Amino acid sequence: MKLPARVKIVDVGPRDGLQNEKQPVPAEVKIGLVQRLQDAGLAEIEVTSFVSPKWVPQMADAAAVMHGIRRRAGVRYSVLTPNLQGFEAAVAGPRAEWPDEIVVFGAASEAFSRRNINCSIAESIGRFAPVADAARARGIAVRGAMSCTVGCPYEGEIAPGKVGYLARLMKDIGVERVDVADTIGVGTPRAVQAALEATLAHYDVDHVSGHFHDTYGQALSNTLAALALGVWNFQSSVAGLGGCPYAKGATGNVATEDVVYMLHGMGIETGIDLDALIDAGVYISQALGREPHSRVSKAIRTKKES
């Protein structure tokens, strides 16, 4: 199996990881997490979302977090913006505080689209198109997250054709790269490959990433299955944080620590310092009053203590 020599990871912990936390996490803690992730060598960080605070109260401090982070040259900072209102809020401050990339987020499942962003797939594309245009006009990159590409909490199994359909719509409105998300972590390697292949019919492999939640413990296997197709961009959450408020029971993304350990073990470069990443995971987990949800973090810390 020929695999990519290098992988780029977007750590989505500060956004996907924290959005579902019931306890309010202070902006300073989120800023501290972003700092530790960039110190660990993450070149892409999904920082926050400009969404309705009534829908996702945890992200209400998006502007304060973007204001507070200390940016490092070469790191790409992204935020979620589901509509023009969110986009305008994301660029309301000085240019130095704008995101480098915005993320519009749609779903391959109609039911999930309605629950998550309160509109149909077709309506969502109508909302995303002016956001994509406005971002590009300001030199901001545009990514598209595609939820429920394998399974949906409301519709069950999702056919790859629905994923291809959404990918084409994203492409038509100028979304530059897309994330193939297994939102509820039900996917197994062949199903995930089918969703990726449906996307690869519209985007080249350099513009497709894997975003795997680990609810059923399949995310590392799915990562390997994606690597086998040549996919080399992935999203994961430090300490395995997270879940989506509109995907009940779905747990966090695969832990970045676990992905990095696997990749380094296979001789694949990430540019990430695993020990520093583990420290970042411990930092945020302590702030939340729990253990990091990463087997690699636990094993390495236990070994160091003995």
> How far is 25 from 288, CA to CA, in rounded Å?
8
Site membership for Mg ion, residue 258 (CB under 5 A) = no
Assess 61 for contact with Mg ion (CB under 5 A). no
Tokens 């594309």 sit at which residue? Answer: 125
For residue 239, the SS3 value is: helix
Site for ligand HMG in 268-297 (CB under 6 A): none
Q: Which residue is nearest to ligand HMG (CB)?
A: 86
Give the chain's length. 306
Indicate the residue whose CB is closest to Mg ion. Answer: 16
C-alpha radius of gyration, the chain, whole number = 18
For Mg ion, the closer of residues 16 and 257 by Cβ is 16
Residue type, position 121, single letter: I
DSSP state of 24: P
Within 43-102, the residues that bind ligand HMG by CB under 6 A are: 49-52, 55-56, 80, 82-83, 85-86, 89
The Cα 223–Cα 259 span in angstroms is 8
CB of 88 to ligand HMG, least distance (A): 8
Give dist(CA 13, CA 68) in Å, integer. Answer: 17
148 labelled catalytic: no
Select the residue interacting with ligand HMG from 29, 35, 118, 188 (CB under 6 A).
118
> Which residues are 180's β-sheet partners?
146, 210
Least distance from C-beta 146 to Mg ion, angstroms? 11
Contacts (Cβ under 8 Å, ≥6 apart) of 244: 16, 19, 20, 116, 147, 183, 213, 250
Q: Which of 244, 277, 278, 284 binds ligand HMG (CB under 6 A)?
A: 244
Is 19 one of the binding residues for ligand HMG (CB under 6 A)?
Answer: yes
| Owner of token pair 């302590």 | 286
By CB under 5 A, name the one of 9, 14, 16, 254 that touches Mg ion. 16
- List contacts with ligand HMG (CB under 6 A): 16, 19, 49-52, 55-56, 80, 82-83, 85-86, 89, 105, 116-118, 145, 147, 181, 183, 211, 213, 244-246
